[in-house]
Amino acid sequence: MLPSGEIALDLRSGSTVRLDWEAWSALDLPKAVALDAEQAEALALAEGKFRVRRKALDLLANREHSSWELRQKLRQRFQDAEAIGECLTLLEERGYLSDERFARCFLESRIANQDHGPYRLLAELQQRGIARELAESLLREYDSPHLWLEKAERAKERILRRGKTVNPQSLWSKLHQQGFSKETISTALRDLPQPEP
């Protein structure tokens, strides 16, 4: 057994197969005996699933992912859709992968570091495969007109600091693109002439 907890099997062909203990135990293969074709195929399949799972865990060790994001990244590296599906199910069951946890972390980071409105955050979550109902539910936890107004005013100041001449219509449009509601934009731009609807 390797320090990583993996088992390395040296085959007579000269190749090495790596598995985790759980996968090796499930195979129940004889030791020090030549494998028949069916056993060799089972070993190869188990190794493929192990590689998918190991890569998924490596990706999750770097940051949270939504299940959709992780599936996309695994599909870029592996062809076995069944192994990817099984891996994601296992990771969700064991609590390593959670769309809700990913969405919470994503929102906390975006709200702390960027001046975007709730509609943009909702769209960004959906682009990452988060169900609309879950995204809306989590955004309701941040449902504070004061928060969104403060962010809209900071976004407005940032736009105005760029030094370009900005008319109220284009400022309105830029804030709308940042995901703020009409009411929030109107309040943030109360000192400027309002554009016609």
pLDDT at 11 over 60: yes
What are the structure tokens assigned to 140, written together? 């309701």
Is 109 a residue whose pLDDT tops 60?
Answer: yes
Distance CA 172, CA 151 (A): 14
pLDDT over 80 at 97, yes or no: yes
46 and 20 co-located in one domain: yes
Residue 1 lies in a domain: no
- CATH number at 34 reads 1.10.10.10
| Cα–Cα distance measured from residue 89 to residue 47, given in angstroms and rounded to the nearest whole number | 18
| Residue 23 domain boundaries | 6-97
Length of the chain: 197
Buried b (16+ CB within 10 A) or exposed e, 63-91: ebbbbbbbbeebeeebebeebbeebbeeb
The per-residue pLDDT for range 34-51, each reduced to its tens digit, is 777 787 788 888 889 999
| pLDDT of res. 193 | 60
pTM comes to 0.81
Instruction: Tell me: do 176 and 188 sit in the same domain.
Output: yes
DSSP-assigned letter for residue 29 = P
Mean pLDDT of 11-24: 74
Among the listed ranges 30-34, 62-66, 177-181, which one has the minimum average pLDDT value? 30-34
Same structural domain, 15 and 45: yes
Do 128 and 165 belong together in one domain? Answer: no
